[in-house]
Structure 1
Amino acid sequence: MLNRRNFMAGGAFATLSACARPAADPVTEAVPPEPSVPALPDFYGAITDEPFPIPAVEEGVLDPKYWRQEVPNLWPGKAHGTIVVDPDSAMLYFIETPETATRYGVSVGAAGFDWEGTARLQFWRSWPRWKVPEAMIARRPELAPYSVANGGMDPGPDNPMGARALYLFQNGVDTLYRVHGDAVARELGRAVSSGCIRMLDQDVIHLNDRAVHGADVIVLPSMRPKGLGPLY
């Protein structure tokens, strides 16, 4: 029998049911598509005609902004062959014409942040020996076998100078500042613990082949406080 109490309870239940939020339909979250990573240019493939093999750059690791590429020349008054290094943006520019430059991604060591100014490209070497400065040996005595007095480290895949090195002088004096190879793709755009300006071997070979003896090498000042030492 539907009495007043049952009717009121039923009405209250109906009212509460009307106010309740209806059950939501199951929502299927959309899965974002995998980011499209452009294929590396062919010039980052393996090089097999050098004294030592140079492996291909790993696909999907190198940010396209650090690829070797032609860009507008930001220093149109500079002569062909001038090299400009911007350590904070981790970019090196080779002046081609008043309108164009070739830009390379680099990694920057502590020396690359602590030195600035204009130097002269005195000479370059293919597969150079690594002659460890005495100041570095004082910090890392295990490198003593590769000192200048001992003739340095033999060229090859384990040599941190890589396939090429460009040597910078000021007023006829070696700055001990180098632009050299042996970078890995994951380092580009980052500050590394030692060294000067490090490039992929594919890129430093390309730069070396275009280098102009006696050209200016301009290292822009870094906004990073000096003397901080290695960043990691």
Structure 2
Amino acid sequence: MRGRVFFIAAAVAAMAIVSGCTTNSTQFASAYKGRSDGGYALPSIPLAKVERQYRRQIVDYATKEKPGTIIVDTDAKFLHLVLEGGKAMRYGIGVGREGFEWSGVAKVGWKREWPTWTPPAAMIKRQPELAKYRGGMKPGLTNPLGARALYLMRNGRDTGYRLHGTPEWWSIGGAVSSGCIRLMNQDIIDLYERVQPGAKVIVS
């Protein structure tokens, strides 16, 4: 009888451990539903098509950086927002394609909701069809900057790089951009609300 009780207890404990392991990756699942935001009907993201590691989750994270710091791991395609207690909020990201990678230390200069996108001159030169947006592409569901943008500065100057949303949720986990770091729109909205101007950003 004692052996049976031990077996049941062990099974319950194992279930609890499994539940604990999956909680972090599923607790924000409802955050990817469609919603109204800034006058736009933000569509839902088919979460079943997004690899589990790229979904928003709280993870153990050892770092000497203070809470509020953003650490971008371009190899793993993760952005970590450092939290208290050895934890971090982790988001899946898309990064710069070959030849457009960027790394370094910067800070969040300013933030914008539903930003205007203005392609840089070098991009227009590569893609002349973008010349029509030289004066800026109006905000919207198809705007490449998505629902939010955090503008990165270094030594008091705009780096030209952004942490921003994207309507192309399927690109998360890939090397696809012209150097900026992109997140799913629902994730950049969450990050935007947690981060203040002046926050340190480390991209490696």
Q: TM-score, normalised by structure 2?
A: 0.82
**Cα shift at 1:188:** 1.5
Secondary structure at the aligned position of 2:132 is classed as: helix
Paired residue for 1:134, among 117, 121, 132?
121
1:50 counterpart (38, 55, 60): 38
What is the Cα deviation at residue 42 of structure 1? 0.6
Q: Where do 1:81-230 residues align within 5 Å?
A: 81-110=68-97, 114-147=101-134, 150=135, 152-220=136-204
CA distance in 1, matches of 2:190, 2:57: 12
Aligned length: 179
Letter in 2 for 1:120: K
Deviating more after overlay: 186-195 vs 127-136:
186-195
Q: CA deviation at 1:110?
A: 2.8
The letter for the 2-side match of 1:115 is: W
Q: CA deviation at 1:185?
A: 3.3
Q: Deviations over 1:114-146 (max 9, x none)?
A: 211100111110000001100101111111121
Superposition RMSD in Å: 2.0
Q: C-alpha separation between the residues in 2 aligned to 1:119 and 1:59?
A: 31
Q: Which range moved further: 38-47 or 193-202? A: 38-47
Cα distance in 2 between the residues matched to 1:113 and 1:89: 17
Higher strand share: 2
Q: Which amino acid aligns with 1:81?
A: G
SS in 1 for 2:42: coil
Specify the SS of the correspondent of 1:192.
strand
Q: CA deviation at 1:64?
A: 1.1
Spell out, residue by residue over 1:42-100, the C-alpha distance to the aligned partner (whole angstroms, 9 max, x if none).
1110012432111111142011111101011231x212210000111100000111411
Please give the alpha-carbon distance, in whole angstroms, between the structure 2 residues aligned to 1:121 and 1:59.
29
Query: 3-state DSSP class of the match of 2:110?
Result: strand
Q: Which runs of 5+ in 2 are unaligned?
A: 1-25
- Say which structure is richer in helix: 2
Q: Say which is worse superposed, 157-166 or 190-199, in terms of deviation.
A: 190-199
1:79 is matched with 66
- Which of 63, 76, 86 in structure 1 is aligned with 2:51? 63
Structure 1 Cα separation of the partners of residues 99 and 87 of structure 2: 25
Moved over 3 A (4+): none
Greater Rg over alpha carbons, structure: 1
- Assess, with a 3 A threshold, how the Cα gap between structure 1 residues 61 and 40 changes in structure 2: closer, same or farther: farther
Task: Report the CA distance shift for 1:122/1:112 in structure 2 as closer, same or farther (over 3 A).
Answer: farther
Q: Measure how far apart 1:104 and its partner are.
A: 0.2
Structure 1 segments unaligned to the other structure (5+ residues): 1-37, 221-232
Give the distance between the partners of 1:112 and 1:74, measured in 2 at CA.
31
Q: CA 1:61 to 1:112, structure 2 compared with 1: closer, same or farther past 3 Å?
A: farther
Q: Aligned partners of 2:126, 2:153: CA distance in 1, in Å?
A: 24
